[in-house]
Structure 1
Amino acid sequence: MSKTVLVLVETVDDYLPLLEQAGYRLIRAPSPQLRTEAIQRHAREIDAVLTRGPLGLTAAEIEALPHLQIICVIGAGYEQVDLAAAAARGITVTNGAGANAAAVADHALAMVLALLRDIPRADASTRRGEWNRVISPSVSGKRLGILGLGAVGLAIAKRANLGFDMSISYHSRTPRPDVPYTWYDSPLHLADAVDILVVATPGGAATRHLVDAPVLKALGAEGYLVNIARASVVDTQAMVVALAGGQLAGAALDVFDDEPAVPDALKALGNTVLTPHVAGQSPEAARETVTLVVRNLQAFFAGEPVLTPVRN
């Protein structure tokens, strides 16, 4: 008997046929209204749910799906999935750790280059017929700090170190003995030691506002912030104040608190680079992401260990 997957995500549509080719029946519900209707109409048919961190799956929704056995989250973050409710039912949760790490790391370095070299404004002014040859900081040789050294953080570190001769420092809960980078015991101490701080840690309550006003002050008037993780990790209001007041040189952001809304204060600043949560999106990343979901589902329904379990 084929298994039924409720698909809540809207970013990997081109590769969902990989699931159908593997024998899964899909119920697609990429909007809040379709999601509610699908759960009400097909509750007893659903064996698995495919979601992403910000979309999550609530305790009430888990309770409403009596045959739900596994929740697959694309991407590394799973902050809006109710892990306690899943654990209480014995439901397995997996994530997409590493599947889109290359794409996110590429985007992070692109944002570093765009921010420091002021590429968006240079492009815009040239298109207006201007010839503003502004002197911008070099990227090579800068001190890069990474908040969170998982698959994405490691991919960013590799590119920055080998491609741009940057020294790499990081903060995570514990130091990693398998990397040649410098560990700092807090975001504050890390920010004080680097020129560029890249946020690459999952979202959720445990990481909320790790980058706050004191951290931004430590990063300083010549420091740059790049966030390709979750907006909740950064205190947005404190960041806007620092950017507007010259206490922070610039910020490149791919994530925002109330997506798709972007604060007007950020759009009005000349020292920001803003992209619409696309760091992890590429054809290659989407294919790898869905392939990992297929492999996790196949392993689970065959009674084998899943590849990327989320521990509660």
Structure 2
Amino acid sequence: WTVVSPIVFTYRVIQCKDLLDRRNDTLLWGHTEHQELKGTTSNSTPVKRFVVIDKTVHELYGSKISQYFYAKGVMYKILPVPTTEENKNMELVTKILEEVHQFGIDIRSELIIALGGGVCFDVVGLAASLYRRRTPYVRMALMKHPVLFELLEVNGRKMLHAKLQPSETWGGSEQEDGAAASVRIAIETMLEELAPNLWEDDLDWLLDFGHIMSPELEMRVLPALLHGEADSIGMSFMVYVAHQKGLLTTQEKSRIIQCMLGVELPVWHQECSLVLVQKSFRERLRHSAGSLRMPLPTGLGRA
């Protein structure tokens, strides 16, 4: 027998202001299509939401979120979690799973809300993919970040991945801690690149720019570098490689590096030794079907 089961997945990336305004229903129903919403809102069953929130964000907005849900008559549970890179591990994922199970949600009509940044989205996304095989969740982002799109990875070695796209992604305030992601590629272009390849069937994709060396570097110096900072150093390394291969002019190389320095991104680290680079390349070959697959810029805005 041969079973063919195509996966069709649809989700939206939207921007919304005043998410915690009581007149705004986006936090509750932004993930729902209009026709589906009619049946859901007419149901007498209480609305339930499980919220995983960055601890610092909870200190700033926790009371407002509680007031919002209370005003809407929602049964809710808010779980503040530490979301530094050191805490991005399976223990935190297990903690979320235990709390979700105790709270009790119907995965057909209720969902998990992740509110924070990259680490928060990673651990919640993996937990959602594991709980009853697929629990819907939304990402409420406080910054521009690749996790708006599809990335989930949790562990100390960046080798455990889950592919479960969110039901919805909402953009909140315009904090620019995600500067590295914004330098790498614009949101719209990133969506165009990812949409045909959400499950990484094609390993040749430009979004790996900077990702050849950065995972090994990040794990080596954790917690000295944030994920985006390690990516930035990986990007600058690839820029110099592209220049050495004649793909970039000296002026283009300088403009890219100065752009990164201008937004206060690191472009080098003392641990960037030849040994580390060689190990990074070996790992790349091992996990990329024996091909290096190294995205390189060929000009400003081209690769």
TM-score by length of 1: 0.33
Higher share in helix: 2
Considering Cα pairs closer than 8 Å and 6+ residues apart, tell me whether 1 or 2 has the greater RCO: 1
TM-score by length of 2: 0.34
